[in-house]
Amino acid sequence: MRLLVFAIAALLIAIQWPLWLGKGGWLRAWDLDRQLLTQRGVNGTLSARNAELAAEVASLREGREAIEERARHELNMVRDGEMFFQIVPPRRDAAGTTASERSQK
């Protein structure tokens, strides 16, 4: 009788093994579900970025104002008769102080 119980227990374990640990088992399904949720989050972020880029492209196609604004901001372009002044922040050394701060000390 004991031998029969051990044989049935071994068969149950043999049947359950692929269900839990096999290629299409529950553990693999849970792992794939976790990966799917992570990828959906990444896709949501990328979709938002794509929507922003599509809006920018549409704006650039429709009017000169967007092109002019972008050229002024990124390339520092100026119109005829305008002057462009760029203020450069003072450099800081490794201690985080500027040259004028060091001379005052």
Of 21 and 57, the one with more pLDDT: 57
pLDDT of residue 44: 96
What would the mean pLDDT of 47-55 be, rounded to a whole number? 95
Confidence of residue 40 (pLDDT cuts 50, 70, 90): very high
State the Cα–Cα distance between residues 34 and 22, nearest whole angstrom.
Answer: 18
Q: Find out whether 32 and 25 touch, Cβ atoms under 8 Å.
A: no
Of 101, 75, 100, 97, nearest to 86 by C-alpha is: 75
The average confidence (pLDDT) of the chain is: 83
State the Cα–Cα distance between residues 77 and 82, nearest whole angstrom.
Answer: 10
